[in-house]
Amino acid sequence: MAYKSSDKTRQKKDAKRTAMMQAAVQVFAEKGYHAATVRDIVKQADVAIGTFYFYFPDKETLFVHLYEETADFLLQTIEQAVRSRKELVQQLSYGIQAYLNIAIYEPAVVQLLLVGGVGTVPSLQAKRTTFRERLVRLWQRPLDQAIDDGVIPNQNSRRVAEAFAGAFDEVILQLLAMPEPEEKAAAVIQDLTLFSLRAIAFKGNPP
Protein backbone atom coordinates (compact mmCIF):
# COMPACT_ATOMS: atom_id res chain seq x y z
CA MET A 1 0.00 0.00 0.00
CA ALA A 2 2.60 2.40 1.11
CA TYR A 3 4.50 1.20 -1.89
CA LYS A 4 1.90 2.11 -4.37
CA SER A 5 1.20 5.48 -2.81
CA SER A 6 4.88 6.17 -2.77
CA ASP A 7 5.07 5.21 -6.39
CA LYS A 8 2.24 7.48 -7.26
CA THR A 9 3.82 10.31 -5.35
CA ARG A 10 7.08 9.65 -7.04
CA GLN A 11 5.43 9.61 -10.39
CA LYS A 12 3.59 12.81 -9.71
CA LYS A 13 6.75 14.45 -8.54
CA ASP A 14 8.62 13.18 -11.52
CA ALA A 15 5.87 14.44 -13.77
CA LYS A 16 6.15 17.92 -12.39
CA ARG A 17 9.89 17.78 -12.50
CA THR A 18 9.77 16.67 -16.09
CA ALA A 19 7.33 19.38 -17.01
CA MET A 20 9.62 21.99 -15.54
CA MET A 21 12.61 20.58 -17.35
CA GLN A 22 10.78 20.65 -20.63
CA ALA A 23 9.77 24.22 -19.98
CA ALA A 24 13.37 25.02 -19.17
CA VAL A 25 14.63 23.47 -22.38
CA GLN A 26 12.17 25.54 -24.34
CA VAL A 27 13.14 28.78 -22.66
CA PHE A 28 16.87 28.13 -22.71
CA ALA A 29 16.71 27.15 -26.36
CA GLU A 30 14.79 30.25 -27.25
CA LYS A 31 16.65 32.86 -25.27
CA GLY A 32 19.98 31.37 -24.37
CA TYR A 33 21.26 30.81 -20.87
CA HIS A 34 21.69 34.37 -19.69
CA ALA A 35 18.63 35.94 -21.22
CA ALA A 36 16.44 33.17 -19.86
CA THR A 37 15.28 33.93 -16.35
CA VAL A 38 14.06 31.52 -13.75
CA ARG A 39 10.80 33.43 -13.85
CA ASP A 40 10.49 32.72 -17.55
CA ILE A 41 10.87 29.04 -16.84
CA VAL A 42 8.38 28.81 -13.97
CA LYS A 43 5.88 30.86 -15.92
CA GLN A 44 6.19 28.50 -18.85
CA ALA A 45 5.75 25.55 -16.48
CA ASP A 46 2.95 27.32 -14.63
CA VAL A 47 4.40 26.85 -11.16
CA ALA A 48 5.63 29.21 -8.49
CA ILE A 49 9.20 30.30 -8.35
CA GLY A 50 9.78 28.54 -5.06
CA THR A 51 8.88 25.26 -6.69
CA PHE A 52 11.80 25.64 -9.02
CA TYR A 53 14.20 25.66 -6.11
CA PHE A 54 12.55 22.69 -4.55
CA TYR A 55 13.36 20.57 -7.59
CA PHE A 56 16.63 22.08 -8.73
CA PRO A 57 19.49 23.56 -6.77
CA ASP A 58 19.96 26.53 -9.07
CA LYS A 59 19.70 27.79 -12.59
CA GLU A 60 23.18 26.87 -13.67
CA THR A 61 23.05 23.31 -12.41
CA LEU A 62 19.80 22.75 -14.19
CA PHE A 63 21.14 24.16 -17.39
CA VAL A 64 24.23 22.00 -17.32
CA HIS A 65 22.13 18.98 -16.49
CA LEU A 66 19.74 19.75 -19.31
CA TYR A 67 22.63 20.24 -21.68
CA GLU A 68 24.07 16.86 -20.78
CA GLU A 69 20.76 15.10 -20.98
CA THR A 70 19.96 16.68 -24.31
CA ALA A 71 23.37 15.83 -25.63
CA ASP A 72 22.90 12.24 -24.50
CA PHE A 73 19.57 12.05 -26.23
CA LEU A 74 20.92 13.42 -29.47
CA LEU A 75 24.05 11.32 -29.47
CA GLN A 76 22.30 8.11 -28.53
CA THR A 77 19.61 8.58 -31.13
CA ILE A 78 22.15 9.10 -33.88
CA GLU A 79 24.39 6.38 -32.52
CA GLN A 80 21.55 3.92 -32.57
CA ALA A 81 20.72 4.79 -36.16
CA VAL A 82 24.34 4.33 -37.15
CA ARG A 83 24.79 1.07 -35.26
CA SER A 84 21.65 -0.42 -36.68
CA ARG A 85 23.37 -0.62 -40.07
CA LYS A 86 26.40 -2.45 -41.27
CA GLU A 87 27.26 -0.71 -44.50
CA LEU A 88 29.03 2.61 -44.45
CA VAL A 89 26.64 4.15 -46.94
CA GLN A 90 23.69 3.35 -44.78
CA GLN A 91 25.41 4.19 -41.55
CA LEU A 92 26.00 7.70 -42.80
CA SER A 93 22.66 8.05 -44.43
CA TYR A 94 20.68 6.84 -41.44
CA GLY A 95 22.79 8.76 -39.00
CA ILE A 96 22.22 11.96 -40.91
CA GLN A 97 18.54 11.20 -41.15
CA ALA A 98 18.30 10.67 -37.41
CA TYR A 99 20.04 13.98 -36.80
CA LEU A 100 17.72 15.77 -39.17
CA ASN A 101 14.67 14.21 -37.63
CA ILE A 102 15.57 15.52 -34.25
CA ALA A 103 16.39 18.94 -35.64
CA ILE A 104 13.05 19.20 -37.38
CA TYR A 105 10.77 17.71 -34.77
CA GLU A 106 12.65 18.78 -31.65
CA PRO A 107 14.30 21.98 -32.74
CA ALA A 108 14.82 23.01 -29.13
CA VAL A 109 17.30 20.16 -28.76
CA VAL A 110 19.48 21.49 -31.52
CA GLN A 111 19.02 25.09 -30.43
CA LEU A 112 20.09 24.26 -26.91
CA LEU A 113 23.16 22.33 -27.97
CA LEU A 114 24.36 24.45 -30.85
CA VAL A 115 23.19 27.93 -29.96
CA GLY A 116 21.70 28.27 -26.52
CA GLY A 117 24.46 28.43 -24.03
CA VAL A 118 27.75 28.82 -25.76
CA GLY A 119 30.52 30.86 -24.30
CA THR A 120 28.52 31.73 -21.26
CA VAL A 121 28.55 29.43 -18.30
CA PRO A 122 32.03 28.50 -17.17
CA SER A 123 30.98 25.11 -15.90
CA LEU A 124 29.53 24.42 -19.32
CA GLN A 125 32.70 24.81 -21.29
CA ALA A 126 33.87 21.33 -20.37
CA LYS A 127 30.46 19.87 -21.13
CA ARG A 128 30.44 21.45 -24.51
CA THR A 129 33.88 20.15 -25.28
CA THR A 130 32.78 16.68 -24.25
CA PHE A 131 29.69 16.93 -26.42
CA ARG A 132 31.65 17.96 -29.48
CA GLU A 133 34.17 15.21 -28.74
CA ARG A 134 31.48 12.56 -28.56
CA LEU A 135 29.82 13.89 -31.67
CA VAL A 136 33.10 13.69 -33.56
CA ARG A 137 33.77 10.18 -32.29
CA LEU A 138 30.30 9.19 -33.33
CA TRP A 139 31.07 9.95 -36.93
CA GLN A 140 34.61 8.70 -36.67
CA ARG A 141 33.68 5.16 -35.72
CA PRO A 142 32.07 4.11 -38.99
CA LEU A 143 34.94 5.75 -40.83
CA ASP A 144 37.55 3.78 -38.93
CA GLN A 145 35.64 0.61 -39.55
CA ALA A 146 35.37 1.40 -43.22
CA ILE A 147 39.10 1.98 -43.40
CA ASP A 148 39.68 -1.30 -41.64
CA ASP A 149 37.37 -3.02 -44.07
CA GLY A 150 39.10 -1.41 -47.00
CA VAL A 151 35.94 0.27 -48.13
CA ILE A 152 37.63 3.66 -48.13
CA PRO A 153 41.30 4.54 -48.32
CA ASN A 154 43.29 5.27 -45.24
CA GLN A 155 42.94 8.89 -44.06
CA ASN A 156 42.85 11.08 -41.01
CA SER A 157 39.51 9.86 -39.84
CA ARG A 158 39.49 12.14 -36.83
CA ARG A 159 39.81 15.28 -38.89
CA VAL A 160 37.26 14.04 -41.38
CA ALA A 161 34.84 13.34 -38.56
CA GLU A 162 35.32 16.86 -37.25
CA ALA A 163 34.56 18.21 -40.69
CA PHE A 164 31.47 16.03 -40.90
CA ALA A 165 30.19 17.20 -37.54
CA GLY A 166 30.65 20.83 -38.46
CA ALA A 167 29.23 20.41 -41.93
CA PHE A 168 26.12 18.61 -40.74
CA ASP A 169 25.50 21.20 -38.01
CA GLU A 170 25.71 24.11 -40.37
CA VAL A 171 23.55 22.59 -43.04
CA ILE A 172 20.96 21.66 -40.45
CA LEU A 173 20.94 25.13 -38.90
CA GLN A 174 20.53 26.63 -42.34
CA LEU A 175 17.69 24.24 -43.00
CA LEU A 176 15.96 25.16 -39.75
CA ALA A 177 16.12 28.81 -40.67
CA MET A 178 14.00 28.13 -43.75
CA PRO A 179 10.24 27.83 -43.89
CA GLU A 180 8.88 24.28 -43.87
CA PRO A 181 12.18 22.50 -43.46
CA GLU A 182 10.57 19.06 -43.41
CA GLU A 183 9.85 19.29 -47.11
CA LYS A 184 13.50 19.60 -47.94
CA ALA A 185 14.71 16.99 -45.49
CA ALA A 186 14.96 14.14 -47.99
CA ALA A 187 17.04 16.20 -50.40
CA VAL A 188 19.31 17.38 -47.62
CA ILE A 189 19.88 13.84 -46.43
CA GLN A 190 20.85 12.75 -49.89
CA ASP A 191 23.07 15.76 -50.50
CA LEU A 192 24.89 15.33 -47.24
CA THR A 193 25.32 11.60 -47.67
CA LEU A 194 26.78 11.95 -51.13
CA PHE A 195 28.91 14.87 -49.98
CA SER A 196 30.31 12.72 -47.18
CA LEU A 197 30.92 9.68 -49.31
CA ARG A 198 32.77 11.69 -51.92
CA ALA A 199 34.78 13.46 -49.27
CA ILE A 200 36.13 10.19 -47.95
CA ALA A 201 36.79 8.81 -51.43
CA PHE A 202 34.21 6.11 -51.17
CA LYS A 203 34.19 4.10 -54.38
CA GLY A 204 31.26 1.76 -53.89
CA ASN A 205 27.68 2.17 -54.96
CA PRO A 206 26.05 5.35 -53.87
CA PRO A 207 22.60 5.09 -52.25
Partner DNA sequence: CATGAATGAGGGTTCATTCAT
Partner DNA sequence: AATGAATGAACCCTCATTCAT
Residues in contact with its own copies by CB under 8 A are: 31-35, 111, 115-121, 129, 132, 136, 156, 159-160, 162-171, 173-174, 177, 188, 191-192, 195-196, 198-201
16 binds DNA (CB under 7 A): yes
159 binds, among DNA, its own copies, none (CB under 5 to 8 A by kind): its own copies
Q: Which stretch binds DNA (CB under 7 A): 1-9, 74-82, 125-133, 164-172?
A: 1-9
Of 39 and 198, the one with the shorter C-beta distance to DNA is 39
Question: Residue 109: CA atoms inside 13 Å, Cβ hemisphere, count?
Answer: 20
Length of the chain measured in residues: 207
47 binds, among DNA, its own copies, none (CB under 5 to 8 A by kind): DNA
Secondary structure class of 161 (helix, strand, coil): helix
119 binds DNA (CB under 7 A): no
Tell which one of 7, 18, 39, 159 touches DNA (CB under 7 A): 39
Q: Are the beta carbons of 109 and 102 closer than 8 angstroms?
A: yes
In terms of Cα–Cα distance, which of 152, 123, 129 is closest to 140?
152
133 binds DNA (CB under 7 A): no
- Residue 96 Cβ vs its own copies, minimum distance, rounded to whole Å: 11
Conformation bin of residue 103: beta by default, left when phi > 0, alpha when psi is -120 to 50: alpha
What amino acid occupies position 59?
K
In terms of Cα–Cα distance, which of 171, 33, 24 is closest to 103?
171
- Residue 22 Cβ vs DNA, minimum distance, rounded to whole Å: 15
Q: Which stretch binds DNA (CB under 7 A): 9-17, 101-109, 143-151, 190-198?
A: 9-17
In angstroms, the Cα distances linking 62 to 54, 75, 132, 133, 200 are 12, 20, 20, 22, 40
Binding site for DNA (CB under 7 A): 3-5, 8-9, 12-13, 16, 36-39, 47-55, 58-60
